Amino acid sequence: MIGIISAMQEEIQALLDNLHNITITEKGKRKYYSGILFNKEVVLVFSRWGKVASAATTTQLINDFDLKEIIFTGVAGAIQPHLNIGDVVIGKNLYQHDLNAQPFYDKFEIPILKKKYLKAKEHSQLLSSTTFFLNEYFEFIDKSEAQEFNITHPKVIHGDIASGDQFISSKEKIAYLNSELPSTLCVEMEGAAVAQVCYEYNVPFSIIRIISDKANDNAEIDFSRFANTVASNYALGILKNYLV
């Protein structure tokens, strides 16, 4: 069985709409939807925002279901200029950009684990699946929606992601992250927490992030609509290719 998580239900609504033979389990104020998606057994859940919420959800998911891997999908803000709205980042190394236990540990180092980042599953298959999705893009994304969000030539990149319990919306914070964690491509609020739980439970994990904004002072977007009409259908298109 494959576990699929997002922070908002809108980000996986298209997957829920295609899930069959659904069984719903309620625990910890969350609903876990298990069923069949593209002929594979999966369980879908939205974790809510932030590292604590996503860590709690991931732990419950691992303990209650027989999982072979976990996939987290959702939106993120770009902090590198070559990324544009609609691009996809497949996570490589996951950092917690708001973790600082100095002087006991180096900045960004996870206490006890003594790691500054955690590696996602190696993903030639997921990268190929995303490339296939981008080649058939308008089978999943409405052209008018793409135009409204100024999505022109979306691309996929395999790279580092930084997570923290902050909504990044200033050029100053981006400059700080570029200086301290220069390899990171985008920022979000859950991926590294999911990575830590999966690492400790020895469960392979993947992080898929769809760029929704540039994480700066001009980051004005209808996130709910973007998540529902764009990010959710990205997840559907990518995972359809990945699961079949």
Instruction: Tell me the pLDDT of the chain (244 aa) as tens digits.
Output: 999 999 999 999 999 999 999 999 999 999 999 999 999 999 999 999 999 999 999 999 999 999 999 999 999 999 999 999 999 999 999 999 999 999 999 999 999 999 999 999 987 889 999 999 999 999 999 999 999 999 999 999 999 999 999 988 888 999 999 999 999 999 999 999 999 999 999 999 999 999 998 866 555 667 788 988 999 999 999 999 999 8
Q: Is the peptide bond before 103 cis (omega within 30 degrees of 0)?
A: yes
Angle at 191 between CA 141 and CA 113, to 5 degrees: 160
CA quadruple 73, 78, 80, 85: dihedral sign: positive
Q: Could you read off the pLDDT of 110-135 as tens digits, one per residue?
A: 999 999 999 999 878 899 999 999 99
DSSP-based three-state secondary structure for 55: helix
CATH code at position 177? 3.40.50.1580
Determine the pLDDT at residue 213: 87
CA distance 165 to 211: 18
Per the residue annotation, which of 11, 160, 188, 190 is the catalytic one?
Answer: 11
Domain that holds residue 168: 2-243
DSSP-based three-state secondary structure for 58: helix
Per the residue annotation, which of 10, 109, 160, 213 is the catalytic one?
Answer: 213
What CA dihedral angle connects 99, 100, 104 and 105, to 10 degrees? Answer: 60
Integer angstrom CA distances of residue 204 from 2, 59, 86, 153, 171 = 10, 13, 26, 31, 34
Q: Could you read off the pLDDT of 53-87 as tens digits, one per residue?
A: 999 999 999 999 999 999 999 999 999 999 999 99
One DSSP character per residue, 92-150 reads: EEEEETT---TTTS-TTPBTTTTBSEEEPPP-HHHHHHHHHHHHTGGGTS-HHHHHHTT
Task: Tell me how many domains the chain contains.
Answer: 1
- Residue 165 is a catalytic residue: no
191 C-beta neighbours (distance < 10 Å), count: 32
- Residue 122 is a catalytic residue: no
Integer angstrom CA distances of residue 110 from 86, 116, 200 = 31, 6, 12
